[in-house]
Every structure is written in C-alpha cells, then in structure tokens.
A = this chain, B = another copy of it.
Amino acid sequence: MSELRRDPIVGRWVIINTDHPLGPNDFEKEDQSAKQAAVCQFCSGRESQTPGEVESIRLNGSLPNTAGWSLRVVPNKFPALQVEGEIDKRGIGIFDMAKGIGAHEVVIETPDHHKNLADFSDQEILSVIKTYQSRLITLAKDKRFKYIMIFKNYGESAGASLEHAHTQILALPLVPKYVLEELEGAQYYYEYRGRCVFCDMIEQEYQDKKRIITENNDFISFAPFVPRFPFESWIIPKKHGFEFCSLAQEGRHNLAMILREVLYRMKKCLSDPSYNFYLHLAPLNNAYQDSYHWHIEIIPKLTRVAGFEWGTGFYVVETEPGVAAQHLREVVYSGV
C-alpha cells in the first residue's frame, strides 16, 4: 500500500511508496566523467572566453580576468534575463507582459575542472557561501529586482550544460510562484498557529528522528516527510530566521560544512548522481520576515518526471524519506 502525504507548507499532496521503497541501487546510474576539459571556458587560463568578472577571489594579487584566481563571478554569456532597461509592464488583450529585465551571473567555484562541491576543502566551500552572500548584497541594491534565486545544476540530466563546477544566480523582477506559495503558506500557518511551520517541521524531525541525515551547531539536514523526489534533502538553520545574509563567520562555516557533507553523502550513496539545489530565501523587500525561514533544498535527479506529474503537480516518490535518510546516514563521513 502506498501512502498519501500532504505538505504542511504549500498543501501539495504526494504519493509515497512505503511498501517497496527503491534503494540507491534501483536507479539508473549516470556517467559524470569530465568530457569538456579540453575546451572548458571556465578553466583557468581561458578567462577571456567569459564576460569580464564582477567579483573574484585572488590570493596572489593577480589582475582581474587573468589566471591566479580561486573563484570567479561572471555575467552569464547567454543570460535568461538582461540587465539593461526598465521592466515596462503592459497588457496585450488578456495577457500580461513585461520586458525580461534581470541579472544572470555565474559563480565559477574553482579553477579545477575535475573538482566539485562534495570534494572541496573547507576554505573552498566556505568561499562559495561567502560569495553567495556578497552577490546577494550587491544585487539587492538594484531596486528593480524583487527576488534573487541562487541555484546549482550538477550533471547532464539535472540540466547542467557545462560540467565545470558552478552556481547560477538570477536576480528577478518578480517573486517566483513556488517561493510565493511557500511564503504565503508559512504566513497562513503563522497567523493561524502563531508559530513558524519550518520550526515545527524541525521539532517534529527531532521527535521522529528517522529522517535526520546530519546536523551541527547551527544547521540540520533531513529528508522531508513530503518530498517531491526520492532522496530529496533539506538543509535549514535550527534557529528561526529569514536572513541568509546575516549569517556571520561561525554560521557560514557551519553551513559550508553541512552542505559539503550532505553532497558527499549523496555522491557516495547514489553513485555520484546529477542533482539540483536552490536556496529558498525571503524576497528582497523583507516581507514575510516573521513567518519565513530560509533553507536549501537538494534534489538528486534519479527519476524522470512524466505526464502525471506535469498534469497534476502531484508526485509519486518511490523512496520513503525515512529510508532515504537511513541510506544517507550510513555513508561513512569524516570530513574531506
């Protein structure tokens, strides 16, 4: 018998296979070997092939857009949105339209074509988190932007067209639909019960224990009770808060450590799967700050989304999250 579960934030129902959960070896494996190294535009020495950097970490005083960096941020060469102009909202008959204004940046996380977040040193993974913060602070100054989405595609079937380790940052003139649903769902819960729904989820995970993957002083990672995908994993600050950018040195360090650990556990447990992750943060106008609780959602790409999901928004999840968390916990991890 399968089980129907309803997400307490946005009200999404999913179907969970509780009787015969699929394990790590029941999914198709993907080859992640590097194929683009010879021509990769993100590699050290090919700085001229990207748009000019807007930020970088350079330890030896090297010049911008030359070798000698450990991390670079550049505008996306083929941006989904463009930075010039005004949003210019208008209607055509029953349709609403606007110009595609925004910013689309790429964080090139390492000069090394063969390294990925799960294998980064403490310093390297910490630099990535610091850079997320500094880009957010910079982009938030542009008052045309309402929301900033930070996301990563790793592996071909997760939509990565370039294999060199990178994160994308998209500043949007609108708050996107899924985020708005979470903001409104959390707000409704907060008004109704006077508590944060994410804090209540964390509390329940501590009570149930089964779905916790790992934790440290500031963060906990668990497989959510109502995932959309098998082995979906969240990372969330233990303390209520809407502000990712206010994380100081220790918080940043602990976030970097838990992010690397969860990615490492996924890599070992699921044979280096393709995955996406994204940060769900509050909108730039700081609305919903009492009720929202920022977090990271990590979704390994193990199955194909089909007509049922596209037609309904209902998901069939073949691995019960308690089972997924157990597999992830069993990976031996003692730092990289």
Contacts and interface: CB of A to CB of B under 8 A. Distances in A.
Interface of A: 1-6, 8, 11-13, 15-16, 80-82, 85, 87, 93-100, 149, 151-153, 156-160, 168, 170, 172-174, 176-179, 181, 197, 200-201, 204, 207-208, 225-226, 228, 276-280, 297, 299, 304-308, 310-314, 316
A1 B100 contact: yes
A12 B175 CA distance: 11
Which secondary structure dominates where chain A touches chain B?
mixed
A4 B8 CA distance: 30
Contact of A13 (B151, B159, B174, B279): B174
Contacts of A13: 174, 176-177
Given A15-B80, A173-B4, A179-B312, A204 B95 contact: yes
Given A3-B97, A314-B176, A170 B308 contact: yes
Contacts of A12: 177
Contacts of A99: 1, 3-4
A276 B93 contact: no
Given A159-B305, A276-B306, A304-B157, A151 B311 contact: yes
Q: Nearest 8 A-B pairs (CB), nearest first?
A: A159-B306, A278-B311, A2-B100, A276-B307, A176-B312, A177-B313, A151-B307, A178-B313
A159 B315 CA distance: 13
Given A1-B82, A80-B316, 15 more contacts: A1-B85, A3-B100, A4-B173, A6-B98, A13-B177, A95-B226, A149-B308, A156-B304, A159-B307, A177-B312, A178-B314, A276-B310, A278-B311, A279-B311, A297-B311
Contact of A314 (B87, B177, B316): B177
A95 B93 CA distance: 43
A204 B151 CA distance: 36
B11 A177 contact: yes
20 contacts: A1-B85, A1-B100, A4-B99, A5-B96, A8-B95, A13-B174, A94-B204, A149-B308, A149-B311, A151-B306, A153-B307, A168-B308, A176-B312, A177-B314, A178-B311, A179-B311, A278-B310, A278-B312, A297-B311, A299-B310
